[in-house]
Amino acid sequence: MQFFFIGESELVTAFRFVGVPGVAVNDARECLAVFRRVTRGLVEEAGVALPDAASSFAGIQADDGADTRVLIISEEVADSLGQELADWQLSGEYPLVVELPGLQGRIEGRKTLVDSIRDAIGIRV
């Protein structure tokens, strides 16, 4: 399974320590550019200087079902992507997108994955 992270530079460094490549972004424009390139398998064009990441993602298209890919993004990145992220998630294509709280913690009013699952199945334990 291949993972990739988009978020704050401190979190990118933390994910690199555990072997997950990533790109630090500073504004909404960068978030959108990197997201589009990663979801299309063009990480090396997103300014990533990681040989393992570039070689494992180079030329892989989003509809290539050979590998399972998971894109991990911070909640701040998710907010800046807006409708672009919603459209991608509804497309059902890979990579799957997982949102994590950023450095400032959980954004007020956002549902967690567990809360969404509980709402969907209607069971609370």
pLDDT in tens, 56-81: 333 333 333 335 479 999 989 998 99
Q: Which CATH number characterizes residue 75's domain?
A: 3.40.50.10580
Which has the minimum average pLDDT: 66-70, 101-105, 119-123? 66-70
User: Looking at residue 107, what is its pLDDT?
Assistant: 62
pTM for this prediction: 0.67
Which structural domain range is residue 68 located in? Answer: 2-121
Count of domains observed in the chain:
1
- DSSP conformational letter for 65: T
Higher pLDDT, 87 or 112: 87
Contacts of 7-15 with CB under 8 Å at 24 or more apart are 7/72, 7/73, 7/74, 7/76, 7/77, 7/100, 7/102, 8/74, 8/76, 8/102, 8/103, 10/103, 11/74, 11/100, 11/102, 11/103, 15/72
Share of the chain above pLDDT 90, in %: 22
